Amino acid sequence: MNNALISISGKASQLYCHSLAGLFEQTRQKQRMTVSISTRHLPDRILPRKFSISNKIPDTKGCLKCCVVRNPYTGHKYLCGAFQSGVVLLEWVEPMQKFMLVKNVDFQPLCPLEVLELLVVPEQPYPLICVGLSKGTQPNQPVSFQTLDPNSSCPTPPDTDTTLPDSEKPQSCVIHITHLERDTVLVCLDRCIEIVNLEGKQKFSKKLSPELTFNFQIESIGKLSAFFSEPRNAIQWAVKVGSLFIQMI
């Protein structure tokens, strides 16, 4: 699954898998304004599937949100998609070069669906599907993950009832969640960023502060890629406030 891009595209909001190498080559050919006829200029539908730049992932129309993760313990890659009636978990099969369905979980997601992230748990074949956050109930536990367990024969959906106590209600203003390392998860709320473990407890280390607070509202957060030499384990992030990006190291 190297050099692949997953998107929700088209009028039907379907999941697609794109070849980044193919997309870059296609752009390069267009920029050169070549008039030669090659397979790169033929419609994808008449090319063999393995040569196609973009491929639909079957049975994924109406997708609301998606996420991907690589299991660091096994190397397996997973794709999760959320729909009006539930979520699906797919696994990348290298010999077939495509995603295959491994689990379909009936679940009525919140509207709008703010949270969808895969959390890899040691000694479990499939990652947990995080569909929400609630406030933590223990010291140094700012959040608690609301998850679906695809490893269970009958996954139990988290309770999203508005009559629940405040500590159990879904957390609002969740900007972003990402599984950084084996036991490190970044949670971005509207005015703070929490570094926690898989139990939602703050993770203390010499390199990362477990909590960063701001006096402004965060709109988005993204990981920065650099083309210069730097330590492999360095993590760079930028938060967006209006048109302003603030870099954090």
Cα distances from 56 to residues 60, 68, 102, in angstroms, run 8, 16, 17
Instruction: Give the global pTM.
Output: 0.76
Answer yes or no: are the C-beta atoms of 77 and 70 closer than 8 Å. yes
- Burial class for 211, CB neighbours closer than 10 Å (0-12, 13-18, 19+): middle
Per-residue model confidence as pLDDT tens for the chain (249 residues): 677 889 999 999 999 998 888 888 877 777 765 445 454 555 555 545 555 788 899 999 999 999 999 998 999 999 999 999 899 999 999 888 889 999 999 888 877 888 899 999 988 999 999 998 888 888 889 999 999 999 988 887 776 554 445 545 555 578 888 888 888 999 988 888 899 999 999 988 777 788 888 888 888 777 665 444 444 444 455 555 444 444 444
Per-residue b or e along 91-105, where b marks 16 or more CB atoms closer than 10 Å to that residue's CB: bbeeeeebbeebbeb
